[in-house]
Structure 1
Amino acid sequence: MGNTLIRLAALTLTGVTLAGTVASAHSHRGGDWPTWQGDKAGSRHNPAEFRITPANVGKLELKWAFAYPKTGVVAKSQPAVVDGTAFFGGPDGTFYALDAKSGKTKWTFDLASVDPSQRVVLDGPAVARGKVYFGDSGGYMYALDQRTGKLVWAKDTEPHPTGMHTSSPLYHDGRIYVGASSAENLGDKNYPCCTFRGHIDSLDADTGEVVWRHYTVPEPKEVGTYPSGAKKFEPSGAGVWSSPVIDERTGTLYVGTGQNYTGSAGDFDSLLALDARSGAVRWKQQVTKADTWRDLCNQPDPEGYCPGLKDGTNLDYDIGATPNIFRVKGRTYVGVGQKSGVYHAFDATTGDVKWRRQLGVPLPSGGISGIQWGSSYDGDKLYIATYFAEPGTLFAVKPETGQVLWKTPNPANGCDWGGAAQHKDICTPAHGPAATSTPGLVWEGSNDGKMRAYSARDGKVLWEYDTVRDFQGVNGLTGHGSAISGSGGAVVSNGMLYIQSGYYPFYPSEHGNVLLAFGLK
């Protein structure tokens, strides 16, 4: 994934602190939001949210802010909210459990207590069976006691030194499913590129042991040298950046993959349908014929270092988004957005193409015009947002055919008011976050630092809030908002809205970024 924008800075790490009390956990109870996907099918929809409605959403106000120390690392960990507690990782190497209503800290966990190297949480946690599961920037997976934050197990699941977890874990039937990605393609001209290969893992939820692993590309082999003399390896890449989903009725796991770093082989830019128990491939759909890209493609003088430069296949058209499973006239479909701006819908059983819809207009520079992290399905419509697409736009789409029912561009004045107005050279009308929905509402944030609620009926903006400002955190720190964070999106649970504000582009501030929580007046 080319626009990873993860260049890990030095971290100030804190220790394990307080223990709090949380009731026993269930995978999805009432209005809780226990996993990145919202549910196992990837709907990113909370049907139990009845408190915030189209009629009163305009009365949302900030209830509390939680500020991070300034580290130079993006705020990426979308919260899980279960049994009155919000669980998330900070850009400071700490995992947090806060009271969901007040923001008061219940407990924290220091990643350095497991490994002293500088690690942060880049994914969103999953809460199930009394445990909190998450990964980190070095490839570790963790299980903590939901009530106390005590470590249950930690496993280094990544054999490659640059491997990491941006994929958020999914719990199902005693297993954890999670993908592995890598920032190896950010190496310079002297780096021996590349030897990472993406994979999707099934772990025993009680022990963390790997039950099965599916690699997305064959093992890389040395094939020569670059002009700098650095060794060249092929094929590589095809990281699993996004989170998997599962059809519980058939036991089929669906997950998307990224582009090759070198060579052109394996399951790059593909939607995989795997047997959840064994990892066997049931079907796969490769949506790009050739796509080999590394960061040097965007740097000066890329000749000899940018695979695909001459034939135009340096596209970076990942499937970085999480799939959606939905029903159409008695048939089950699985759909997924691509960084090319296309949303693809397949028959979930056979993999046959049902429809495709071009939404974002493809732009150069690493496929950043398209669908980045995920879409939402409320049982009636699909809600799909595009990133840099001149401008980024929120779409409502008919699940049967892909017909666009309405579309709302990022408001044209988004860079003209609020904190972004002071930095028009930085501000862009783009939608990095995944879309979220609740009955009657769609939630999407922007690079202009605004969080917005849209009418699910016609796409009208019903509420917006500027986050590019200072916030006094309930933890005693001052924080500053930025772009609404990608790699996740809004979480709406039990009458509260939670968002991370602290993503590229970074609006200048001497303070770190913030997690914000909103409720009705």
Structure 2
Amino acid sequence: MSAIARRATAGNRPFRSGSRLHSRVSVGQARRGGRKGGKEGTVTQKTWLYVISVLIVVWTFSASSTLAQTADPPWPLFGHDAKHTNSSPYEIGKGKKELLWSYKAESAIESSPVIGADGTIYVGSHDGFFYAFNKDGSVKWKVKLTEPSYDARWNTSKAIMASPAIAKDGTIYINTASDYLHALNPDGTEKWRFPINWDNDFWNGPNIGPDGTIYIGTARFEGKSGESGLYAINPDGTKKWFSPEPSGISIVPSIADDGTVISGAANPTDNKGKIIALTSDGKKKWEFMLEQWLEGPAAIGPDNTIFTGSKEGYVYAINSDGTEKWRFKTGSGISAMPTIGSDGNIYIGSWDGNFYALDQKTGKEKWHFDVKVGKDPKLFEGYPGKETIITSAPLSKDGILIFADVFDTLYALDTTGKELWRWKNVNGAGFASSPAVAQDGTIYLGDEGGYFYALGEKKEAKSQTDASVEQQDKNAKPSSIIILSLAVIVLALVSVVAAYAFYRKNRLSKKTLLTILFGVLAVALVCGAIVVFFILPKKDLKTDDSQSTPTEKVETSQTQKTETAKDDDSDFIKNATRVSDSVDVRIREFGETGRSCAGKGCGSLKDTCVRWNKTKDQCYEMVKTSPATSDKYKIYCNMVVVNQDKAKAAAVSLNLNYTTADGIKHLVKKESLTLKPQTGDSLGWVYDAAADNIGTCGYSDISVTETNN
């Protein structure tokens, strides 16, 4: 019982049946009424105090419950929740999603994003930075947590592979190649760090229990001091307990309703693995041995069945006591975690290119969706095609599954296996980052090329009818709070009027009247606070065009629509990346605008042209390609830099690079330019690459500052 409720109850004790107060008040006194301050008015005064107290208690409890639900993050953990069900409580909608915005990091994004209660999106990159994005795609902050670690086996450097985890108080946890688990405040400052061994072969990461305990495993210690195993860490950064596991923990732990912690161990020397169940205080309950080890976390069903896939290609269902329930064999290994459906199915993708629906009780296949259809079979003979699907699949409230392949495509299926739509990555890179779903249905994920994307429904592309429906939906979300607040305010006003009437008739003391008035004032203040902090921010209050982002801007006139269609600027915005918070400077990479061929007689001259959409009669750059030597390609790279800002000029500097297939980034030239508002420029550079070492064009170290020029 709350303190207010206890005080209300305590204050009403004289009303108990048979109390002395009842014996003092006769029927005649009640009929005659009392004078102000007399005993006759006591029952009336306390009755009013009781009614007002109850109203305040009931309203406060209801409002606090509603607001507590509103503050829940839409996607706080890898796999959405501590059980890794991958099930979102929000709808995505069956309509095809478009690119709302993208951001280019300096290296691949393998980390899967999470979303905070305020809509902030958090994700790590192999450039060593940890990013916080606002919903409009602008960078809220980024912090350098580590330097990338080079792995000669894969000829690549990695820094942050794990997905972050967000605690109830907003603290963000992420482990990196720094060999630490970092605890960050919502503003990006570091709270504390805890030593956790990292390895780019291990997808260990944090999970959070209901009491705030952080669970995370270490990679194996090869040539390092320390012990491998699973840690339970208190929210203040101190060790709670440790369970040793010499071969290292390869996955993010999952947490059952009873506190059981499910993790997986891996021994890359013999490729063996096992599933481990620990109690909430770190004692081992059971182990389940596997032929090969786990790369994806387990998911826990509503009856505490544990579902997981392994590198040997089996999907396992394990009872809560560690005995096998069933297993299903796919055509190849599995890195993804399963998705738990409320329809009795689980959903999971395999390296074999199939996305499966299996019955939770029997393991029987319901259907599968083959992403290989229509693709060249040779793509699947080597990497990355040998591991075609490695991302997990969020399942929305309206029954839509979202997953991606390692090539360049994101898929949306319904729970019957029907394809709803697919989105082809405009930058041509594959996906290892699993999607996250926001409250408004926006989908976030990163790619192997270093881009981070937001996919959703474009507001400016909606019809008036769609916009009206969307606005109704927005208004409907806080309707319960509004109705409750208005009802209480009306009751409070009626109470004030009635109380004043009684006061005028000398049936209430001045003290009681003031008590009622103060109670009503408190109710009004709380209602006002709710409107200000929880309702108004959800509405689109921006009217200044300079403050609205391209994805928030709604067309308001026929002239504006005509101009937009004429300039066709929407395609550029859709495929460009904003690179500055202070000035709206955007970059669109076109990669190769031309390539000379290798070998004799390899072709005649070929004209290639790339232009920013606002130019109609000329290209920013015209490149004539010509034959090169027999063992080299001459690669022509091109990108466009545009200052979309309507008022500010920008000074831009950046490095133009070419990264060859061996992973080496070659600086071709440094570029500096000044862009007036609403102007752009095309940048071109050329690199001679060996025929067996063809890579990609790119840029790095970009700097944008506002200038008066």
Q: 2:208 aligns to what?
A: 171
Sort the Cα spacing of 1:109 and 1:393 in 2 relative to 1 into closer, same or farther, 3 A: closer
List aligned pairs for 1:234-383, cutoff 5 A. 239-240=250-251, 243-248=252-257, 250-254=258-262, 261-267=268-274, 274-278=278-282, 280-282=284-286, 284=288, 286=290, 289=291, 319-328=334-343, 336-341=348-353, 353=363, 355=365, 359=369, 363-365=380-382, 368-378=386-396, 381=399, 383=401
- Normalised by the length of structure 2, the TM-score is 0.40
* Structure 1 position 136, deviation (Å): 0.6
Q: 2:117 aligns to what?
A: 82
List aligned pairs for 1:488-503, cutoff 5 A. none
Query: Is the Cα–Cα contact under 8 Å of residues 37 and 245 in structure 1 kept in the other structure?
Result: no
> 2:221, 2:419 → 1: CA distance?
34
State yes or no: 1:140 paired with 2:180: yes
Sort the Cα spacing of 1:54 and 1:340 in 2 relative to 1 into closer, same or farther, 3 A: closer
Residue 406 (structure 1) aligned to one of 402, 418, 425? 418
State yes or no: 1:39 paired with 2:81: yes
Query: Is the Cα–Cα contact under 8 Å of residues 253 and 275 in structure 1 kept in the other structure?
Result: yes
* Structure 1 position 155, deviation (Å): 1.3
Q: 1:155 aligns to what?
A: 194
Sort the Cα spacing of 1:54 and 1:99 in 2 relative to 1 into closer, same or farther, 3 A: same
CA offsets per residue over residues 446-472 of structure 1, 9 Å max, x none? 779887569xxxxxxxx9989764533
* Structure 1 position 374, deviation (Å): 0.9
CA offsets per residue over residues 425-459 of structure 1, 9 Å max, x none? xx47x5544245579969587779887569xxxxx
Q: 1:207 aligns to what?
A: 237
Q: 1:517 aligns to what?
A: none
* Structure 1 position 324, deviation (Å): 3.0
> 2:398, 2:700 → 1: CA distance?
42
> 2:395, 2:413 → 1: CA distance?
10
SS in 1 for 2:84: coil
Give the percent of matched residue pairs that are identical in Structure 1 and Structure 2: 17
Residue 474 (structure 1) aligned to one of 581, 589, 594? 581
Residue 103 (structure 1) aligned to one of 118, 128, 138? 138
- Greater relative contact order (Cα < 8 A, sep 6+): 1
Sort the Cα spacing of 1:469 and 1:213 in 2 relative to 1 into closer, same or farther, 3 A: farther
Query: Is the Cα–Cα contact under 8 Å of residues 66 and 473 in structure 1 kept in the other structure?
Result: no
Sort the Cα spacing of 1:357 and 1:442 in 2 relative to 1 into closer, same or farther, 3 A: farther
CA offsets per residue over residues 145-168 of structure 1, 9 Å max, x none? 33x54433211122x7x4687444
Sort the Cα spacing of 1:452 and 1:263 in 2 relative to 1 into closer, same or farther, 3 A: same
List aligned pairs for 1:412-491, cutoff 5 A. 414=424, 420=427, 427=428, 431-436=431-436, 443=443, 469-474=576-581
- Normalised by the length of structure 1, the TM-score is 0.52
Query: Is the Cα–Cα contact under 8 Å of residues 201 and 212 in structure 1 kept in the other structure?
Result: yes
Query: Is the Cα–Cα contact under 8 Å of residues 383 and 395 in structure 1 kept in the other structure?
Result: yes
Q: 2:162 aligns to what?
A: 123
For structure 1, list consecutive stretches of 5 or more residues without a partner in the other structure: 1-24, 185-191, 220-236, 294-307, 309-314, 399-403, 421-426, 455-462, 484-503, 514-521
Q: Which has the larger radius of gyration?
A: 2
Query: Is the Cα–Cα contact under 8 Å of residues 73 and 115 in structure 2 kept in the other structure?
Result: no
SS in 2 for 1:509: strand
**Count of matched residue positions in the alignment of Structure 1 and Structure 2:** 371
> 2:217, 2:358 → 1: CA distance?
21
Higher helix share: 2
Sort the Cα spacing of 1:180 and 1:251 in 2 relative to 1 into closer, same or farther, 3 A: same
Q: 1:509 aligns to what?
A: 698
> 1:393, 1:57 → 2: CA distance?
10
* Structure 1 position 372, deviation (Å): 0.8
Sort the Cα spacing of 1:33 and 1:470 in 2 relative to 1 into closer, same or farther, 3 A: closer
* Structure 1 position 320, deviation (Å): 2.7
State yes or no: 1:387 paired with 2:405: yes
Sort the Cα spacing of 1:210 and 1:342 in 2 relative to 1 into closer, same or farther, 3 A: farther
* Structure 1 position 38, deviation (Å): 2.5
CA root-mean-square deviation: 5.7
